[in-house]
Structure 1
Amino acid sequence: MELSVPVNQLNEGFCSFQRVNRDSTSGFVKKGGSQARVWSSKSVKVSLCRIGYVEQTEFGSLEVCGRRCGRLVGHVKLRALGSGNGRLHSAENTADVNSGGSSSVLTSSSSIPAHSFEEFESNNSLRRMVRHGELGEGFKLLESMVCRGEIPDIIPCTSLIRGFCRVGKTKKATRVMEIVEESGAVPDVITYNVLISGYCRSGEIDSAIRMLDRMSVAPDVVTYNTILRTLCDSGKLGQAMDVLELQMRRGCYPDVITYTILIEATCKESGVGQAMKLLDEMTNKGCKPDVVTYNVLINGICKEGRLDEAIKFLGNMPGYGCQPNVITHNIVLRSMCSTGRWMDAEKLLADMLQKGCTPSVVTFNILINFLCRKGLLGRAIDILEKMPKHGCTPNSLSYNPILHGFCREKKMERAIEYLDTMVSRGCYPDIVTYNTLLTALCKDGKVDVAVELLNQLSAKGCTPVLITYNTVIDGLSKVGKTGQAIQLLNEMRQKGLHPDIYTYSSLVAGLSREGKIEEAVRFFHDLEAAGVRPNAITYNSIMLGLCKDQQTDRAIDFLANMVSRGCMPTEGTYTILIEGIAYEGLANEALDLLNDLCEMGAVKRSSAQQLAGKI
């Protein structure tokens, strides 16, 4: 008799299935003389999702996570309530992988302990908690599950470890691993890799290395690469080489990523010459370098100032069986620009286009930035205008150097005009763009325009930062508009921005110039109360204001305060005091002090002569 179970009857028949054996020569399974058709794993999944035993998202993870699929099919138990007597039965999924794909065979088992349904529900709850970021609650549930003798599913446990690692709670992640191991669940290499990666991100490299020795499964190349990357980034190349030796002794052979990590670190620490030896070792062991490996080497050659060798290496790459990509060209292009060889850079760009290597926005931005620094705005604009023809849309980093170039040449009208062009093309300025314009406007004395632009930033979807406010506050203070500057100070505080030494120094200097010395002194004490350390500019500004107000004694007190706080006086500090003493009618005393300071080397002789002429 042939037994065929349709999907829509799976719920009723699930718990009455008997153990069956797959016939190796057919697509059926046999029970005695009967045959039961093996339904596809997809049909089983649909039915189980329909009756609510397993969430669809969990099966999605089975299909996506190829490395885990085999283990999951072997370990995940699908439980259902029997319709007849209400007793709990289980079905195991086993995978049969052949050339045509995989199938799931559902088999029955004898009655299982009553707590298994709670275990199943607990694992589902754990999945949901982890998915929603409820790490603390998930941890408590995991502890209670193990106390009840339940075995947690390794997938949500791995996610829980990952969640704790992401927020820097590696001790909590370690405890999760310990609980999992104590529970009887078997962590796989992915679980260990997640924890080791968390250690490495938190700078706990020693914990990561110790974990290598206590893993219950063999580390894979990903495990070692994670540790090697952290060691190399920390400048511990020697220790990384020791780990590599351990890796090879254990029979885990390095891949191209392993060697690329080590080659990059060797370039930084020992030079390209040593890195080339590692490249030879890599190829001798049958590990073929990829474009990333060669990019690392070319970058190292460029940093050693051997640009011509890098250009030659770039040309030889096809002969090595590896085509250079846009990043390879960008490395050489940046090196050409940094050494002033912009004509070679333009030639390389043309060569890229000819060979069919499509430039990226970064490629064009490197060249635009360099040309603008050299004052070649016309060439920079030409390149920017050609970008769309090559499939690249200019971004704010493309426009910013050009705007900065116009501002540096005091061509504010052109800068504003190009800003409008930028916006009309759908490229919205960032805070760097606006900071550039605000700085130029303030330097040009157009502080009212700068204030107006600052007030429009929020409406333009751009939030001002500390440097934005500092720029305008400094501009207002320099043109005698400290009242407006103080209003901006209050505004930035309301927005949660904390004034720094540059904010206070601008205000103190502005108030001192306006003769509002007591207000300047008050701001000086405010900055100290806020925990901001005054610098020489701040002290000089306050002392200048006091000396102009013929309060030289107070200025000298500030000098004493300055020295006691470890802030070294500058030549300007002494010049201010000498002029202040002379301004109070004590010219002889001022000259005597000047001579003493000149002999001590605190004031240069050329400066002393100029100052003596004024006194």
Structure 2
Amino acid sequence: MDLMVSTSSAQEGFCLIQQFHRECKRGNKLDVSGRTTRSISSKVPLWSRKRNRLVLVSAASQVESSGLNGRAQKFDTLASGHSNSNGNGHFSSANSSFVLEDVESNNHLRQLVRTGELEEGFKFLENMVYHGNVPDIIPCTTLIRGFCRMGKTRKAAKILEVLEGSGAVPDVITYNVMISGYCKAGEINNALSVLDRMSVSPDVVTYNTILRSLCDSGKLKQAMEVLDRMLQRDCYPDVITYTILIEATCRDSGVGQAMKLLDEMRDRGCTPDVVTYNVLVNGICKEGRLDEAIKFLNDMPSSGCQPNVITHNIILRSMCSTGRWMDAEKLLADMLRKGFSPSVVTFNILINFLCRKGLLGRAIDILEKMPKHGCQPNSLSYNPLLHGFCKEKKMDRAIEYLERMVSRGCYPDIVTYNTMLTALCKDGKVEDAVEILNQLSSKGCSPVLITYNTVIDGLAKAGKTGKAIKLLDEMRAKDLKPDTITYSSLVGGLSREGKVDEAIKFFHEFERMGVRPNAVTFNSIMLGLCKTRQTDRAIDFLVYMINRGCKPTETSYTILIEGLAYEGMAKEALELLNELCNKGLMKRSSAEQVAGKM
């Protein structure tokens, strides 16, 4: 869905721009693969390592430090011949060797990071610092980012600590990467701790990262406190800052409060963009004030901001969800007249609405018009149609459009197949469903839990529990963990086939696996026992059900009453029925229906 542009994505892009700028300032160049290469203004001739690894540097040349932080002065002084000399104009072997070690160590560190050897890079960094070398902050920042992406924030934090204690000075980008890693891992308190101890001034990206995390966690009040701290430190919010806060305010406090933030934003000289307005339009629609949202849309150009296709899609979706189809058609016509090109999402909103209303013919018309507007239908365009055909039990049409979908280069997703499998199983065509299931992997679509549950349930209801159990083994082999629905289907199928003891065996198996049975599962066992004239065991199972904290339903009691009557104890069954009604465990209307069958 393209409801609106994510402000976090824009922020990440800004981080990358910052890093590019920093690379350039340090004399780096970017090659076509995106890797950085060092630009050295003059060549540094090296003697053989066997001759004490001395560095010969011309007095007229200077070598750029390439981000070595604390070692920059060593190169400059060596080049000028001032300090580090022995009085005869010769360079000190110890100092020269020490500088070379820094260069070589950092080159090796960069190589490890470049090849993705993060663990080796971390060990090498610790060894570097232990031997007194000052690391380059760029590969260290990349190491921090790598471990954060792996979810290893503690190791990333350790790298930052090593860097801070080495004599190197982490810049704002290094801190931003660490803060971002904490925020993505949900460790907002750790992110705030890093903010408090930063050795450089935080920038707007720092604050936006933290504000996004706080707002996504529903901590708007704390986010507003961070905004106050941001202003106190003379770091001025940008359009992303305010859009984050406006979105959270719409969600937590309503659009009225969000509009106050919009006014504050303007007063501070920050101009809202189309993403900001889209957030507000979305908030107004969610409050059910569609007419106000339409007016807001029409007023946007006078505020200096043109709406985009996402703005229209937000309102279009709201129109469809409230049944205002005529307004939706009019809005689409207005979009085309004003030169806005509808997106795939625009058409999918309309198709989805028409299919829900059962207007499949009109939905097909919309689908066929999409290529004329430069939009190729995707699986989300076809899925509502297939679901609609399946719902109306028009399996031939569903299969026709599934084939048409593939012939047009649009490949079905797991939702498409789940829709088809559900319809086939309900239609009793379980063998066809099994055949499709077996072909999924070859079609590049991996079955998920719900896929197997659908077919297992279909097989169990068709009296083919043997095949259903084979599918259970297959899903386990694929590391898919069966759930309550899986076992309930199997238990129900075995009980219906009269294999009650086997059903009870499965029941206890999934209890041992930590899967909690529900009322449907218990009822299946009790029904199987009653059908085999084992009502006493069924009553014991009801007691077990209550002891396990599962509340019996009216169906649970009905099964037992009908079981007693089936065993020739109609009088006792009626007495139990009256007692259950008096205790409010069964409705009088339900009891009368049960009594009428006895």
TM band (smaller chain): 0.7 to 0.9
Partner of 1:320: 303
Specify the alignment match of 1:500 in structure 2: 483
What letter is aligned with 2:501?
A: E
**C-alpha contact 2:47 2:56 (8 A) present in aligned 1:** no
Tell me whether 492-501 or 148-157 shows the greater mean CA deviation. Answer: 492-501
Measured after TM superposition, the shift of residue 329 of structure 1 is 0.9
The 8 Å contact of residues 162 and 173 in structure 1, kept in 2 or not, is answered as: yes
SS of aligned partner of 1:310: helix
| 2:434 is the counterpart of 1:451 | yes
Q: Say which SS state the counterpart of residue 551 (structure 2) adopts.
A: coil
TM-fit CA distance, 1:156: 0.3
Residue type of the partner of 1:591?
L
> Is this contact kept in 2: 1:267–1:275, CA < 8 A?
yes
Paired residue for 1:186? 169
1:109 shift after superposition: 4.2
TM-score normalized by the length of structure 2: 0.87
CA RMSD of aligned residues (A): 2.2
CA distance in 2, matches of 1:153, 1:81: 22
Aligned to 2:69: none
- Structure 2 residue 237 is the aligned partner of structure 1 residue 273: no
Q: Which amino acid aligns with 2:504?
A: V
For normalisation by structure 1, the TM-score amounts to 0.85
Partner of 1:82: 46
Q: Distance in 2 between matches of 1:63 and 1:261?
A: 20
User: Corresponding residue for 1:101?
Assistant: none
1:383 lines up with 2:347 in the alignment: no
Q: Which secondary structure does the structure 1 equivalent of 2:401 belong to? A: helix
Partner of 1:30: none
**Contact 2:148-2:156 at 8 Å conserved across structures:** yes
Structure 1 position 275, deviation (Å): 0.9
Alpha-carbon distance in structure 2 between the residues aligned to 1:340 and 1:77: 63
- 1:81–1:87 Cα contact (<8 Å) kept: no
What displacement does 1:64 show?
A: 7.6
- Corresponding residue of 1:256: 239
Tell me how far apart the structure 2 counterparts of residues 165 and 483 of structure 1 sit (CA, whole Å). 47
Amino acid at match of 2:20: C
Displacement of 1:83 in angstroms is 4.7
Match of 1:108 in 2: 79
Question: Alpha-carbon deviation of 1:81?
Answer: 4.2
Alignment of 1:526-545 (within 5 A): 526-545=509-528
Q: Secondary structure at the match of 1:505?
A: helix
Is the 1:62–1:72 Cα contact (8 Å) retained in structure 2? no
Structure 2 residue matching 1:92: 3-state secondary structure: coil
Find the counterpart in structure 2 of residue 148 from structure 1.
Answer: 131
Is contact 1:314-1:324 (8 Å) kept?
A: yes
Counterparts of 2:481 and 2:151, CA distance in 1: 27
Query: Is this contact kept in 1: 2:18–2:173, CA < 8 A?
Result: no
Q: CA deviation at 1:72?
A: 5.2
CA distance in 1, matches of 2:422, 2:173: 51
Choose which of 63, 71, 76 in structure 2 pairs with 1:92.
63
Residues 1:408 and 2:391 are matched in the alignment = yes
CA distance in 2, matches of 1:197, 1:241: 19
Q: Deviations over 1:81-132 (max 9, x none)?
A: 435976214633399xxxxxxxxx9993444431222221211221122223
Letter in 2 for 1:87: L
1:123-522 paired onto structure 2 within 5 Å: 123-522=106-505
Give the Cα–Cα distance (whole angstroms) in 2 for the partners of residues 485 and 361 of structure 1: 39
Is the 8 Å Cα contact of residues 295 and 328 (structure 1) preserved in structure 2?
yes
Offset, 1:210 = 2.2
SS of the equivalent of 2:165 reads helix
Residue type at the aligned position of 1:124: N
SS state at 1:235 partner: coil
| Cα deviation 1:201-246 (Å, max 9, x = unaligned) | 1222222222222111111111111111111111111211111111
Whichever residue aligns with residue 256 of structure 1, its letter is V
CA distance in 2, matches of 1:416, 1:248: 60
Q: Does structure 2 conserve the Cα–Cα contact (< 8 Å) formed by 1:441 and 1:449?
A: yes
Shift of 1:68: 4.0
Shift of 1:69: 2.4
Structure 2 match to 1:49: none
Shift of 1:73: 6.7
Which ranges of structure 1 fall in alignment gaps of 5 or more residues? Answer: 1-60, 96-104
Which residue identity lines up with residue 340 of structure 1 in the other structure?
G
* Aligned-pair CA distance for 1:71: 4.4
CA distance in 2, matches of 1:413, 1:567: 43
Amino acid at match of 2:46: G
Equivalent-residue separation in structure 1 for 2:124 and 2:306 (angstroms): 53
Aligned with 2:482: secondary structure? coil
How many angstroms apart in 2 are the aligned matches of 1:512 and 1:580?
Answer: 14
More strand per residue? 1
Q: 1:522 to 1:389 in 2, by over 3 A?
A: same
1:240-271 per-position Cα deviation (integer Å, ceiling 9, x unaligned): 11111111111111111111111111111111
Bigger drift between 417-426 and 238-247 goes to: 238-247
Distance (whole Å) between structure 2 residues aligned to residue 125 and residue 307 of structure 1: 60
Give the deviation of 1:139 after TM superposition. Answer: 1.3
Q: Which has the higher contact order (CA 8 A, sep 6+)?
A: 2
Inter-partner Cα distance in structure 1 for 2:571 and 2:536: 17
Distance in 1 between the 2:127 and 2:471 partners? 55
Query: Within 2, Cα distance between the matches of 1:137 and 1:322?
Result: 51
Report how many aligned residue pairs link the two structures: 545
Aligned counterparts of 1:472 and 1:138: Cα–Cα separation in 2: 49
Query: Deviations 1:500-554 (Å, cap 9, x if unpaired)?
Result: 1111111111111111212211211221122211100000001000001001111
Match of 1:100 in 2: none
Match of 1:546 in 2: 529
The secondary structure found in structure 1 opposite 2:96 is coil
Cα displacement (A) at 1:493: 2.1
Distance, in Å, in 2 between the alignment partners of 1:62 and 1:360 is 29
Structure 2: distance between partners of 1:440 and 1:77? 64
Asked whether the 8 Å contact 1:337–1:367 carries over to 2, the reply is yes
User: What residue identity is the alignment partner of 1:92?
Assistant: V
